[in-house]
């Protein structure tokens, strides 16, 4: 892919645009997709002549984070996404380093239909649709949900193993990086890339331009010096973010090894296992110092020290292990235990909720009332968790309810009761992608049309919903 001048390629652009066409926010229409070859030619002329400038994009999509805080996700143009993904895909082979107990650095997309390495071989063990049932990242739609799930299960298996390892100590600290994507310093990132990928100056210049002006809708012509976009596919920014933390991984791993600690990282979540609270407090101090030199800070409100056993229960690793091993008996036993624990303590109920929805769907007619009621009761009582599901998970949840039409209407009422556009985009995505499956389980085309019209009526303040999500949904349902 590397040439004298940075160019985008038709085949890879087609793959990116197909993903954007079928996404929660379909920024690529069939008309745009049909003009792909001409658009690639025009874009490459702009890149060669240095005329390319990131567009102002389509706007922002709001989703609830917590405590009433709204995060606004940028909806970038199809051309900007093609350029961003070409840059990150080309650089990823040269800049990503696989490190023990660090997760998130897999490649953007499988290179071909043919299995070429062990990583891709493993990913074929589970299909994309099934993998989407178990996704934990909210409002991301990676190129390979199967690779995401493979990485996630390796992470959860490691946590369980460490929680059951006597020699590492009795304590665990969990923390994460505050406002990670928004805090990444672009000049520092570019300097590091010039050091590590010095044969790709043309690509690095293009990335510097893109990151400087992707937020032009808000910043105008003032180049940004901080922040990368939380784009809706999520893979390109994941690669950039993972690379940005690699110096931290190397330095902090050396510190932990020399002090008898074990560190684990998933994206911006950091775990440290040790023999005393004091050693973990010192490790957090050290991590903070290393991150500070990269312009980052740990999130004090999300930093907690647990005993090893309490942390195992908090993360519900027995439940996740039983699901990963497809052991229904162990799943029910561990889920009952986790529910009891959660009555007086704290558990990652969001993780268990999503994983259980996927497993109940996988069990099919073998699923029992106990596990069905668990997810349905949470969905009815916790609107935030309900609205955090992706399209596949929403369909699964509706399909396992006893009265599917009534539950479908309940989801609509919950979605329109809050001002956030992201769950509305996800629901409309479900209608576009799974309208036939919904009809088969008893939710008629008329029910679906009424739901789309209800969302349209309640989304007059969202151009993203009205202009990008509603029209293709109505076209499909009105056929």
| pLDDT tens-digit readout, 384-420 | 999 999 999 999 999 999 999 999 999 999 999 999 9
Q: Are 272 and 172 in contact (CB under 8 A)?
A: yes
Q: What is the pLDDT of residues 202-231, one digit of tens each?
A: 999 999 999 999 999 999 999 999 999 999
Q: What is the pLDDT of residues 13-26, one digit of tens each?
A: 999 999 999 999 99
pTM above 0.85, yes or no: yes
pLDDT at 121 over 60: no
Residues 15, 17, 20, 21: what is their CA dihedral angle, to the nearest 10 degrees?
A: -110
Q: What is the pLDDT of residues 132-158, one digit of tens each?
A: 999 887 778 899 999 999 999 999 999
CA separation for the pair 158, 151 (Å, rounded): 11
Mean pLDDT of 73-91: 97
CA separation for the pair 468, 29 (Å, rounded): 9
pLDDT at 116 over 60: no
Q: Are 228 and 241 in contact (CB under 8 A)?
A: yes
Residue keyed to tokens 């998130």: 104
For residue 3, name the pLDDT band (cuts at 50, 70, 90): very low
Q: What is the pLDDT of residues 233-285, one digit of tens each?
A: 999 999 999 999 999 999 999 999 999 999 999 999 999 999 999 999 999 99
- Provide φ and ψ at 303, rounded to 5°: -100, 115
At residue 2, the pLDDT reads 43
Closest by CA position to 379, among listed 391, 393, 362, 369: 393
SS3 per residue for the chain = CCCCCCCCCHHHHHHHHHHHHCCCCCCCCHHHHHCHHHHHHHHHHHHHCCCCCCCCCCEEEEEEEECCEEEEEEECCHHHHHHHHHHHHHHHHHHCCCCCCEECCCCCCCCCCCCCCHHHHHHCCCCHHHHHCCCCCCCCCCCCHHHHHHHHHHHHHHHHHHHCCHHHCCEEEEEEECCHHHHCEHHHHHHHHHHHCCCCHHHHHHHHHHHHHCCHHHHCCCCCCECCCCCCCCHHHHHHHHHHCHHHHHHHHHHHHHCCCEEEEECCEEEEEECCHHHHHHHHHHHHHHHHCCCCCECHHHCEEEEHHHHHHHCCHHHHHHHHCCCHHHHHHHHHHHHHHHHHCCCCHHHHHHHHHHHHHHHHHHCCHHHHHHHHHHHHHCHHHHCCCCHHHHHHHHHHCCCHHHHHHHHHHHHCCCCCCHHHHHHHHHHHHHHHHHHHCCCCHHHHHHHHHHHHHCCCCCHHHHHHHHHHHHHHHCC
At residue 123, the pLDDT reads 39
pLDDT at 469 over 60: yes
What token pair was written down for 389? 């599901």
Pairwise pLDDT comparison (127 vs 305), residue with the higher score: 305
At residue 477, the pLDDT reads 97
Contacts of residue 296, defined as CB under 8 A and 6 or more positions apart, other chains included, come to: 177, 178, 180, 183, 184, 248
At residue 127, the pLDDT reads 85
């Amino acid at each position: 892919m590397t040439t004298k001048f940075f160019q985008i390629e038709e085949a890879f652009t087609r793959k990116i645009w197909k993903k954007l066409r079928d996404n929660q926010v379909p920024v690529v229409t069939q008309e745009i997709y049909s003009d792909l070859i001409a658009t690639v030619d025009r874009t490459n002329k702009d890149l060669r002549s240095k005329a390319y400038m990131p567009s102002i994009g389509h706007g922002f999509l709001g989703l609830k984070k917590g405590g009433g805080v709204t995060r606004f996700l940028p909806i970038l143009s199809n051309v900007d996404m093609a350029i961003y993904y070409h840059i990150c895909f080309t650089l990823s082979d040269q800049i990503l380093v696989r490190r023990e107990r660090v997760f998130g650095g897999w490649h953007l997309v499988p290179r071909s239909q043919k299995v070429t390495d062990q990583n891709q071989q493993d990913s074929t063990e589970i299909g994309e649709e099934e993998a989407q049932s178990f996704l934990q990242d909210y409002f991301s739609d990676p190129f390979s949900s199967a690779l995401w799930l493979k990485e996630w299960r390796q992470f959860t298996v490691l946590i369980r193993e460490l929680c059951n390892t006597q020699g590492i100590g009795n304590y665990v600290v969990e923390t994460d990086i505050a406002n990670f994507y928004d805090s990444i310093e672009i000049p520092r990132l570019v300097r590091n890339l010039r050091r590590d990928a010095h044969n790709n100056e043309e690509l690095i210049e293009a990335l510097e331009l893109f990151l400087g002006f992707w937020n032009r809708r808000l910043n105008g012509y003032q180049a940004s010096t901080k922040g990368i976009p939380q784009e809706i596919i999520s893979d390109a920014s994941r690669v950039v973010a993972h690379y940005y933390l690699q110096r931290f991984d190397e330095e902090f791993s050396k510190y932990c090894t020399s002090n008898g600690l074990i560190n684990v990282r998933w994206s911006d979540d950091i775990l440290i296992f040790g023999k005393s609270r004091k050693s973990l407090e010192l490790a957090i101090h050290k991590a903070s110092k290393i991150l500070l030199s990269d312009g980052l800070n740990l999130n004090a409100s999300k930093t907690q020290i647990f005993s090893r056993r309490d942390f195992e229960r908090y993360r519900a690793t027995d439940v996740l292990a039983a699901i990963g091993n497809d052991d229904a008996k162990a799943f029910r036993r561990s889920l009952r235990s986790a529910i009891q624990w959660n009555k007086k303590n704290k558990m990652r109920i969001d993780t268990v909720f999503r994983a259980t929805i996927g497993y109940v769907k996988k069990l099919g007619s073998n699923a029992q009332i106990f596990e069905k009621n668990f997810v349905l009761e949470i969905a009815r009582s916790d609107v935030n968790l309900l609205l955090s599901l992706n399209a596949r998970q929403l369909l699964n949840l509706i399909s396992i309810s006893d009265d599917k039409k009534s539950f479908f209407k309940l989801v609509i009422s919950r979605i329109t009761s809050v001002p956030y556009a992201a769950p509305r985009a996800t629901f409309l995505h479900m209608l576009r992608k799974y309208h036939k499956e919904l009809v088969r389980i008893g939710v008629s085309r008329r029910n679906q049309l009424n739901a789309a019209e209800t969302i349209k009526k309640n989304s007059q303040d969202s151009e993203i919903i009205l202009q990008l999500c509603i029209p293709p949904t109505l076209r499909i349902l009105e056929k």
